[in-house]
Amino acid sequence: MARAFAARGHDLALVARRTDRLDALAAELTARPGGPRVETAALDVTDDDAVAAVFSRMREELGGLDRVVVNAGIGNGRPVGSGKPDANLATARTNFVAALAQCEAAMEIFREQGSGHLVVISSVAADRGLRGSATVYSATKAGLSTLAEGIRSDVAGTAIDVTTIAPGFIRTDLNEGMSMPFAVDGPTGVRALVEAIERRPAHAYVPRWPWSLLGPALRLLPMPVVRALT
């Protein structure tokens, strides 16, 4: 996604817990003639104070932030009550509490600037409560989608846009070996994500086909059917 946004002329602030790959990517992107400005920083999104500090520093170094993509998330949950609460609590803290901290930091900047674009990466899983290891994951993504909708309502009529992206299955190193119906490869998923984000919609399924049909259908299907599908 960073490469795709850079190709569209965007300067970038890239943050993650480990900066070695970010720094290598920044060197790659800035080495190109006319390449973007790229700033990197170490950030664990579960550290609330660090989130606010790093967002503020990135704003100062770039002279403003036009868009923030809240993307960090994990999916290492377990069936609720199975004796593995730590995995579920970590999923909830990363996927929702840490996302809220990022939204707080981003929206404070956008309100001061009077403009901005907040993007939250939710999931098709937000459309229905799922079983087993996906129960807490789907709950956090549903919460994130609702959070984004509330923020969107709060800033309606202003120059601040809020976009919820609900991806289906996109193959990455993190989900290798998983059963993923209708999955697309990384480059296809990236193109769909970037194109959707650039349109600045209120909500978008990615890729649009088949998830724009399957996502809403999940809300209506009887639970035995949902269980069979997931």
Cα–Cα dist 184/189, whole Å: 6
Taking the chain, what is the end-to-end CA distance rounded to the nearest angstrom?
A: 28
- Asked whether 96 and 177 are in contact (CB, 8 A), the reply is no
Cα–Cα dist 206/165, whole Å: 7
- CA angle 119-139-53, nearest 5°? 45
Helices 135-154 and 85-92: angle between axes, nearest 10 degrees:
20
Residue among 78, 182, 175 at smallest CA distance from 130: 78
Cα–Cα dist 171/163, whole Å: 22
Q: Catalytic one among 5, 137, 205, 211?
A: 137
205 is catalytic: no
Q: What is the dihedral of CA 209, 129, 77, 84, to 10 degrees?
A: -170
Helices 48-62 and 98-113: angle between axes, nearest 10 degrees:
30
What token pair was written down for 155?
């800033």
Cα–Cα dist 49/207, whole Å: 34
Neighbours of 163 (CB within 10 A): 22
Positions marked catalytic: 137
